[in-house]
Structure 1
Amino acid sequence: MANDSSKVWSAFSLVAALGAAAVAKKGLDTGWRAATGKQPPANPADPDVDVWEAVAWAAVSGTLVALAKMLAQRRAAGYYLKSTGQLPPGLRKDGA
């Protein structure tokens, strides 16, 4: 049963993180276009992209995507806790 629980949590957590990352990326692209009037860099490593534009994109997109994934996984863990009465595997305290 514990192994099944772990698989369910892994799938649930992955879906939540991927969904949040996709939504965050869409919002970031829209926000970048609104703020700069340009498309976000498709590849910040491209030498044709200004280095400061690449740095700004990497910092903003990395931070916001990671934050969105973390918040989605926290919500998923809360839902899992309400559904099962215990924290998901990997989030349980030792001995719990």
Structure 2
Amino acid sequence: MAEKPDKPEMAWRVVGALIGLGTGFVARKAIEFGWQKVTGKKPPADPDSLEISMAEAIGYAVVMGVGMEVTRIVATRTAAKRWQSWKQKAGGLS
């Protein structure tokens, strides 16, 4: 009997979580590095601080939000395709 497609298997959930953590960390560091190179300033540690301009706080939030989400989507979809490919190859060997 085939697995239900709406209930991911536990192994994929663990792999997906680890991929999400790893890519999130790398993406955040890359975005912070890029922000510093482009603006010449360190990224705002606390965008809610009144010492940071509204434009800078919003700009950083937009860049960080879009960058992190795009990274998550790309990493998750790539990993899912490779997972499915691996499952098909492993299933064909038995």
TM-score scaled to structure 1, two decimals? Answer: 0.80
Which of 66, 74, 81 is the aligned partner of 1:78?
A: 81
Deviations 1:23-78 (CA, angstroms, capped at 9, x unpaired): 11111111111111110001111111111000000000100011101111011101
How far apart are 1:79 and its partner, in Å? 1.3
Name the residue aligned to 1:28.
31
Which of 6, 10, 13 is the aligned partner of 1:10?
A: 13
Name the residue aligned to 2:45.
42
How far apart are 1:20 and its partner, in Å? 1.2
**What letter corresponds to residue 67 of structure 2 in structure 1?**
L
CA distance in 2, matches of 1:16, 1:67: 14
CA contact (8 A) 1:13 1:73 kept: yes
CA contact (8 A) 1:17 1:70 kept: no
CA contact (8 A) 1:18 1:69 kept: no
| Number of aligned residue pairs | 83
TM-score scaled to structure 2, two decimals? Answer: 0.81
Name the residue aligned to 2:22.
19
**What letter corresponds to residue 17 of structure 1 in structure 2?**
G
What is the RMSD computed on CA atoms of the aligned residues?
A: 1.6
Q: Which one has a bigger Cα radius of gyration?
A: 2
Name the residue aligned to 2:61.
58
